[in-house]
Amino acid sequence: MSACVFCEILARRAPGSFVFEDEACAAFMDIQPVTEGHVLVVPRRHAAGLADLSPEEGGRLFRAAQRVAAALRASGLPCEGVNFFLADGEAAGQEVFHVHLHVFARHTGDGFGLRFGPRYGRRPGREELDQLAGRLRAHLA
Ligand SMILES: [Zn+2]
Protein backbone atom coordinates (compact mmCIF):
# COMPACT_ATOMS: atom_id res chain seq x y z
CA MET A 1 0.00 0.00 0.00
CA SER A 2 1.22 3.47 -0.87
CA ALA A 3 0.95 6.12 1.83
CA CYS A 4 -0.65 8.42 -0.71
CA VAL A 5 -4.41 8.14 -1.06
CA PHE A 6 -4.40 9.77 -4.51
CA CYS A 7 -1.80 7.28 -5.79
CA GLU A 8 -4.05 4.53 -4.42
CA ILE A 9 -7.05 5.95 -6.27
CA LEU A 10 -5.01 6.30 -9.49
CA ALA A 11 -3.88 2.67 -9.15
CA ARG A 12 -7.51 1.58 -8.57
CA ARG A 13 -6.63 0.17 -5.16
CA ALA A 14 -8.95 2.74 -3.55
CA PRO A 15 -12.33 3.81 -4.93
CA GLY A 16 -12.58 6.88 -7.12
CA SER A 17 -15.30 8.31 -9.36
CA PHE A 18 -13.31 9.30 -12.41
CA VAL A 19 -14.27 12.17 -14.67
CA PHE A 20 -11.20 12.34 -16.91
CA GLU A 21 -7.95 10.50 -17.52
CA ASP A 22 -5.06 10.80 -19.90
CA GLU A 23 -1.39 9.79 -19.72
CA ALA A 24 -0.44 12.88 -17.68
CA CYS A 25 -3.30 13.42 -15.26
CA ALA A 26 -6.66 12.31 -13.97
CA ALA A 27 -9.73 13.92 -12.45
CA PHE A 28 -12.12 12.39 -9.94
CA MET A 29 -14.87 13.54 -7.61
CA ASP A 30 -13.90 14.98 -4.21
CA ILE A 31 -15.38 12.88 -1.38
CA GLN A 32 -16.10 16.02 0.64
CA PRO A 33 -17.48 18.44 -1.93
CA VAL A 34 -17.72 22.19 -1.38
CA THR A 35 -20.60 22.21 -3.88
CA GLU A 36 -22.27 19.53 -5.99
CA GLY A 37 -19.75 18.93 -8.77
CA HIS A 38 -16.39 19.23 -6.99
CA VAL A 39 -13.56 17.59 -8.91
CA LEU A 40 -9.88 17.06 -8.07
CA VAL A 41 -7.42 17.12 -10.96
CA VAL A 42 -4.13 15.38 -10.13
CA PRO A 43 -0.93 14.47 -11.98
CA ARG A 44 -0.49 10.71 -12.55
CA ARG A 45 3.04 10.87 -11.23
CA HIS A 46 3.29 11.42 -7.49
CA ALA A 47 4.40 15.01 -6.85
CA ALA A 48 3.99 16.29 -3.31
CA GLY A 49 3.99 20.01 -4.04
CA LEU A 50 4.03 22.52 -6.89
CA ALA A 51 7.84 22.60 -6.97
CA ASP A 52 7.85 18.82 -7.62
CA LEU A 53 5.67 19.22 -10.71
CA SER A 54 7.31 19.75 -14.09
CA PRO A 55 6.12 22.76 -16.12
CA GLU A 56 4.72 20.26 -18.65
CA GLU A 57 2.74 18.45 -15.96
CA GLY A 58 1.50 21.77 -14.62
CA GLY A 59 0.32 22.76 -18.08
CA ARG A 60 -1.44 19.44 -18.58
CA LEU A 61 -3.08 19.76 -15.17
CA PHE A 62 -4.41 23.20 -15.97
CA ARG A 63 -5.65 22.14 -19.39
CA ALA A 64 -7.52 19.19 -17.86
CA ALA A 65 -9.02 21.54 -15.25
CA GLN A 66 -10.25 23.87 -18.00
CA ARG A 67 -12.01 20.93 -19.68
CA VAL A 68 -13.57 19.87 -16.37
CA ALA A 69 -14.76 23.45 -15.79
CA ALA A 70 -16.41 23.50 -19.22
CA ALA A 71 -18.06 20.14 -18.44
CA LEU A 72 -19.38 21.52 -15.14
CA ARG A 73 -20.92 24.50 -16.94
CA ALA A 74 -22.52 22.21 -19.54
CA SER A 75 -23.65 19.55 -17.06
CA GLY A 76 -26.93 20.98 -15.88
CA LEU A 77 -25.64 21.07 -12.29
CA PRO A 78 -26.11 24.42 -10.54
CA CYS A 79 -23.10 26.23 -12.02
CA GLU A 80 -23.02 29.97 -12.61
CA GLY A 81 -19.26 30.08 -12.13
CA VAL A 82 -16.26 27.87 -11.38
CA ASN A 83 -13.44 28.14 -8.85
CA PHE A 84 -9.95 26.66 -9.16
CA PHE A 85 -8.12 26.21 -5.88
CA LEU A 86 -4.68 24.73 -5.27
CA ALA A 87 -3.21 24.53 -1.77
CA ASP A 88 0.59 24.22 -1.87
CA GLY A 89 1.90 23.48 1.62
CA GLU A 90 0.32 22.85 4.98
CA ALA A 91 0.03 26.57 5.82
CA ALA A 92 -1.93 27.00 2.59
CA GLY A 93 -4.37 24.27 3.62
CA GLN A 94 -2.88 21.29 1.74
CA GLU A 95 -3.99 18.07 3.41
CA VAL A 96 -3.07 15.43 0.82
CA PHE A 97 0.55 15.80 -0.29
CA HIS A 98 0.02 14.86 -3.92
CA VAL A 99 -0.60 18.04 -5.92
CA HIS A 100 -4.28 18.52 -6.70
CA LEU A 101 -6.25 21.29 -8.29
CA HIS A 102 -9.78 21.67 -6.95
CA VAL A 103 -12.35 22.55 -9.60
CA PHE A 104 -15.83 23.23 -8.31
CA ALA A 105 -19.09 24.71 -9.45
CA ARG A 106 -20.29 27.96 -7.91
CA HIS A 107 -23.74 29.47 -7.82
CA THR A 108 -25.37 32.39 -6.06
CA GLY A 109 -26.15 31.49 -2.48
CA ASP A 110 -23.92 28.37 -2.36
CA GLY A 111 -22.47 29.60 0.94
CA PHE A 112 -18.83 29.27 -0.07
CA GLY A 113 -16.54 32.24 0.47
CA LEU A 114 -13.02 33.37 1.25
CA ARG A 115 -12.06 34.84 4.60
CA PHE A 116 -9.42 37.53 4.33
CA GLY A 117 -6.77 38.23 6.96
CA PRO A 118 -6.52 41.44 9.00
CA ARG A 119 -4.03 43.02 6.54
CA TYR A 120 -6.45 42.76 3.64
CA GLY A 121 -7.99 46.26 3.84
CA ARG A 122 -4.57 47.95 3.80
CA ARG A 123 -3.36 49.17 0.38
CA PRO A 124 0.44 49.30 0.10
CA GLY A 125 1.91 52.25 -1.78
CA ARG A 126 3.48 51.94 -5.26
CA GLU A 127 6.98 52.10 -3.79
CA GLU A 128 6.27 49.08 -1.61
CA LEU A 129 4.67 47.19 -4.53
CA ASP A 130 7.66 47.96 -6.77
CA GLN A 131 10.05 46.81 -4.06
CA LEU A 132 8.13 43.54 -3.61
CA ALA A 133 7.99 42.98 -7.36
CA GLY A 134 11.76 43.45 -7.55
CA ARG A 135 12.32 41.01 -4.74
CA LEU A 136 10.29 38.35 -6.58
CA ARG A 137 11.86 39.12 -9.99
CA ALA A 138 15.25 38.38 -8.46
CA HIS A 139 14.09 34.79 -7.85
CA LEU A 140 12.66 34.10 -11.31
CA ALA A 141 15.02 32.13 -13.49
ZN1 LIG B 1 0.52 10.27 -4.69
* pLDDT tens for the 141 residues of the chain, in order: 568 999 999 999 999 999 999 999 999 999 999 999 999 999 999 999 999 999 999 999 999 999 999 999 999 999 999 999 999 999 999 999 999 999 999 999 999 999 999 989 899 999 999 999 999 999 997
Q: Has residue 40 been placed in a domain?
A: yes
Predicted local distance difference test score (pLDDT) of residue 3: 87
> Residue 23's closest CA among 63, 76, 52?
63
Q: Has residue 133 been placed in a domain?
A: no
What letter would DSSP give residue 123?
-
Q: Has residue 28 been placed in a domain?
A: yes
Domain span including residue 94: 5-115
Q: 56: domain CATH number?
A: 3.30.428.10
Catalytic residue among 38, 100, 102, 107: 100
Q: Has residue 73 been placed in a domain?
A: yes
Q: pTM, whole model, 2 decimals?
A: 0.93
Q: Has residue 49 been placed in a domain?
A: yes
Predicted local distance difference test score (pLDDT) of residue 2: 65
CA 16 / ligand 1 centre spacing (Å): 14
Query: Is 46 known to be catalytic?
Result: no
- How many domains does the chain contain in total? 1
Predicted local distance difference test score (pLDDT) of residue 76: 96
Q: Has residue 140 been placed in a domain?
A: no
Could you count the other beta carbons within 10 Å of the beta carbon of residue 68?
A: 22
Residue 100 has, within 13 A of its CA and on its CB side, a CA count of 24
